[in-house]
């Protein structure tokens, strides 16, 4: 390790600090914003995205002519209730498809009138349950718990909250797929050992190659298993984005979410995948870190440049320690001679 430390330091300085630092400086030069402004925008972005929502709502219970005020954390409680309602709606959507399939199958055959009456009764019961589910969602009082959305259409708020939760799910699924792809890319590109590779005897190496092939197949199966659900979620999310754009009123001042690409390669390179769906109006001027893509690229380049400087200082400390170690070893040899 010590014999290769000098080569490692030179390689890190050339490829890590040198190449990436040069690319970051080029982006900083082309973004059209000064370093001071980028630092201010980055500080504003951190303060906005890392702030803890502490909004509370109160409701009153009357008991023995006494009014008691109970404070409850509105966002967390609302999210739990909304998740339950959305799960219930998803189950009803599945049952709707099952009922439609059953009616199509039954109508193709010579079904009796009693069977058709029973199916019609099921459909009426299902319609009543769907109506009650919508009433249950209305009872959540989203406008009371998120006061900023009191002037926004209830249908718009419903789709916006579903799009937010769905994008969180998409992000988790996409990260899992990207991790599997990275495993294959490292094996093909030679950056790490291929899956199952090992330096041992011929018989053991053959068994390792077979094991690597099996792991490779398992990885590809995992990717194929994840992809349909991910693509279905993305299509549903893009449908929500289209509905939101149709229902949108500029006076609401709510940032619309952007659709996501439907291929893994484009999705991996899409910066909007990591962006949250905003559920609060943008009061005042929209910050540049939110609306200007050049500023966002400049912020990432600024952070990369700072990381390169930090890495350069760390490598300098490593080089000083290596020179100090060589000095101690050389002194020990001279004393021994």
Cβ neighbours, 10 Å, residue 331:
10
Give me the torsion for CA of 29, 34, 40, 45, rounded to 10°.
-30
Q: Could you give the CA distance from residue 131 to residue 94 in angstroms, rounded to a whole number?
A: 16
Give dist(CA 190, CA 194) in Å, integer: 7
Q: Give pTM, 2 decimals.
A: 0.52
Q: Angle at CA 118, nearest 5°, toward 117 and 119? A: 90
Radius of gyration of the chain (CA): 29
Q: By 3-state DSSP, what share of the chain in percent is helix, strand and coil, each rounded to 5?
A: 75, 5, 20
- Written as tens digits, the pLDDT of the chain (337 aa) is 456 667 888 888 888 888 889 999 999 999 889 999 999 999 988 887 776 543 333 333 233 333 333 333 445 566 566 667 766 776 777 788 888 888 888 888 777 888 888 888 888 888 888 787 777 766 666 656 667 777 787 778 878 888 888 898 888 888 888 877 776 665 544 444 444 444 444 444 444 444 456 666 777 777 777 788 888 889 889 999 999 999 998 888 888 898 999 888 888 888 788 888 877 777 667 788 877 888 988 999 999 999 999 999 998 998 888 889 888 989 999 898 7
């Amino acid at each position: 390790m010590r014999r290769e430390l000098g080569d490692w330091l030179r390689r890190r300085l050339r490829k890590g600090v040198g190449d990436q630092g040069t690319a970051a400086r080029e982006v900083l030069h082309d973004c059209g914003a000064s370093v001071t402004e980028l630092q201010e925008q980055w500080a504003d972005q951190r303060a906005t995205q890392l702030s803890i929502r502490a909004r509370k709502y109160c409701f009153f219970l009357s008991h023995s002519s006494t009014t008691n005020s109970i404070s409850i954390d509105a966002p967390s409680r609302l999210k739990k209730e909304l998740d339950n309602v959305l799960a219930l709606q998803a189950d009803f959507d599945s049952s709707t498809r099952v009922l439609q399939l059953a009616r199509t199958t039954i109508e193709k055959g010579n079904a009796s009138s009693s069977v058709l009456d029973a199916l019609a009764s099921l459909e009426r019961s299902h319609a009543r349950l769907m109506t009650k589910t919508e009433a249950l969602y209305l009872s959540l009082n989203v406008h009371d718990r998120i006061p900023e959305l009191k002037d926004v259409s209830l249908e718009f708020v419903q789709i916006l909250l579903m799009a937010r939760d769905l994008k969180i799910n998409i992000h988790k699924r996409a990260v899992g797929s990207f991790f599997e792809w990275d495993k294959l890319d490292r094996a093909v590109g030679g950056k790490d050992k291929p899956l199952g590779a090992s330096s041992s005897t011929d018989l053991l190496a053959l068994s390792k190659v077979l094991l690597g092939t099996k792991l490779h197949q398992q990885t590809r199966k995992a990717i194929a298993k994840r992809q349909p659900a991910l693509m279905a979620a993305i299509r549903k999310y893009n449908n929500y984005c289209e509905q939101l754009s149709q229902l949108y009123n500029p006076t609401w001042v709510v940032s619309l979410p952007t659709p996501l690409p439907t291929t893994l390669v484009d999705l991996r390179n899409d910066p909007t995948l990591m962006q949250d769906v905003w559920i609060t109006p943008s009061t005042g001027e929209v910050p540049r870190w939110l609306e200007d893509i050049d500023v966002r690229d400049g912020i990432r380049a600024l952070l990369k440049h700072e990381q390169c400087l930090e890495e350069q200082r760390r490598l300098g400390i490593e080089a000083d320690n290596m020179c100090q170690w060589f000095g101690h070893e050389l002194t020990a040899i001279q004393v021994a001679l």
